A and B are shown apart, each in its own frame.
Chain A
């Protein structure tokens, strides 16, 4: 009883600010609600108009978002794993300085970092194109062409991977020394140790970061809002930005709720699939 009492603030918060609004939005997704009118029940219309192509943006924004997720999640995992691995190496001096530097971008608000990257991506004056020019390489349009806008935003997101790096780092430090020592006695080299000890022992952490990274990537929003407004030609009309536009620029709250629930279901399915496959590749020490 006392336990429940102590947990009550959390439980109440969950009910009031998460569960009830979710239920409300589910109900609203079956209504014609444009803020200025009283919601009117219209069945599945908000959903069917998405799938039958009446809404010209739905498939486009799904595709753009999937493109982002498919690029962002694997690259993010590889990049932060390598960064964490390097930061964990015994011979690197001033490790804490590097760790701070890698974590720093995570403290910067997304809006502020978006502004900085806007300058970096600037086609004529930006640092990236100056760099390419100095190397005599062709310059890119970065955020301003349909082909490069999503990869550009992925590049920017890698810069803010501090939290993932920290989690990997903690995982790496948790790998028992005894295993490495035993492997050395058996004559294993660096690559073998990495392949047969580090990677298997890290699979639960990789799994965790995979799930978190995917969920986060599906919700990419701020970059589109600040830097591209979904352009050019809807090439960065990310799903969440599309929800925002439908809700707050067009005032179509009922439709926006339906669109949001589809994303919820997609994320749920993706997570379930990951969990199912995890049995075949994630190694839990406690289950041995």
Chain B
């Protein structure tokens, strides 16, 4: 190891530049291949599509099996590319090297900005020219649009947020079970009171007891990832940006109030673990009675169904209105694909709930098609009668998400990743109790404002 070598290693850009060089090489290579393909196109020629996706082992298995069935049904070959970690880094490098997959999952921020730069296919012409496809069959909330008429895709699956709890702990504490219907949702004070009843110190005293010791908490009333604070913000009538898309919504009074209330759960009411305390909670916190209630997305049901406890679900407590977040990440077709028609066939296939039923039935995903939320026969295929979907699910999650689900900022806020790179450190100060929501968010507002570019698709 000589110094010159180490110095060279200092420049991470070397790595960047290699990818650029390779991009140059494969550019010409790719083009030649494409031309050959066109000339030599015959009916027997098999088309191979590359489909990239992330996910745990269960998702990997289900998606791979769906791709295999698609191969059998259509004769189109599919090469699955499962990327368990650092997904965006890998995809970025592939796109830079002109070897992007034909289609696949993509995080919403990257999808929208790549779509704007023309790296993703606009699906609108494909949909309009496809007599077998009716856009009306799919939920209106799941589409990602750069501009009106330029849709780069829909969510891979629908994800809604709700309250999940260990029924046994609520019954023991004499707390009424969380309502599953929007118009009966707990207001904030009721919720805080119940959460206090469910928070116990090492002597078994709850947080309403004057002798309660907040330094020795054995069981928390509520676990919630505070960085996922948008559910509270929208329930208080706020949002990430102001309605006109010009102002920083999180620094508006409604959002500040909501975020402060979440911080108060940790530092005033002591019913919710701080980020530091959360590091020590196991994934099985509900089952092992370290936590009585948790707020999470639909996907968490998959893991809870594997655990042995009496799981219940309810709608989120409300600040002003009872609603929830509708989340997701899109599947997209890359503009570099040589086979847009075949890619579209696969796209449709993967968007069909029937193709990926095990993931929907298992609780990880909610379906994309409207009929699966209205037709009792379809609903029974996934949302009821299995361990991942306990009683009340159809009201508390399914109905609430579809009727009162507010789309997360990822669907439409421009420049979101860069804005979040400023907002997250500011929220660090709030969630660690160093600053009030008002100080932190008003403090970061001047830096955020120049980055605000409004909404996509409007």
Q: Which residues of A contact B (CB under 8 A)?
A: 17-18, 20-25, 28-29, 34-37, 56-57, 122-125, 141, 144-145, 211-212, 215-216, 218-219, 231-234, 240, 243-245, 247-251, 253, 256-257, 260-261, 263-264, 267-268, 271
Contact = CB atoms under 8 A, between A and B. Distances in A.
Contact of A22 (B17, B424, B425): B17
Nearest to A211: B3
Nearest to B117: A36
A60 B21 CA distance: 32
B448 to A, nearest CB: 10
A24 B10 contact: no
11 contacts: A23-B17, A29-B13, A35-B95, A144-B432, A212-B6, A218-B10, A233-B429, A249-B89, A250-B418, A253-B16, A260-B16
A231 B432 CA distance: 12
B10 A17 contact: no
Contacts of A35: 92, 95-96
B100 to A, nearest CB: 10
Closest 6 CB pairs of A and B: A25-B13, A21-B17, A24-B17, A260-B13, A36-B117, A124-B280
A231 B20 contact: no
B4 to A, nearest CB: 9
Contacts of B428: 231-233
Contact of B13 (A34, A145, A261): A261
A283 to B, nearest CB: 20
Given A122-B279, A215-B7, A256-B16, A24 B117 contact: no
Contacts of A267: 7, 10
B14 interface: yes
B350 interface: no
A132 to B, nearest CB: 15
A139 to B, nearest CB: 11
Taking chain A's interface residues, is the majority helix, strand, or loop, or is none over half, making it mixed? helix
B275 interface: yes
Contacts of A260: 11-13, 16
A218 B422 CA distance: 24
B21 A21 contact: yes
B237 interface: no
A17 B195 CA distance: 59
B276 to A, nearest CB: 5
Interface string B92-122: 1101100000000000001001100111000
Contacts of A22: 8, 11, 13-14, 17
Contacts of A271: 3, 7
B277 interface: yes
Contact of A219 (B10, B15, B92): B10
Contacts of A125: 280
B88 interface: yes
A205 to B, nearest CB: 14
A217 to B, nearest CB: 11
B18 interface: yes
Given A24-B17, A233-B429, 20 more contacts: A21-B18, A21-B21, A22-B14, A28-B13, A36-B95, A37-B117, A56-B447, A144-B279, A145-B432, A215-B10, A231-B428, A232-B425, A232-B428, A248-B88, A250-B421, A251-B92, A253-B16, A260-B11, A263-B10, A264-B11
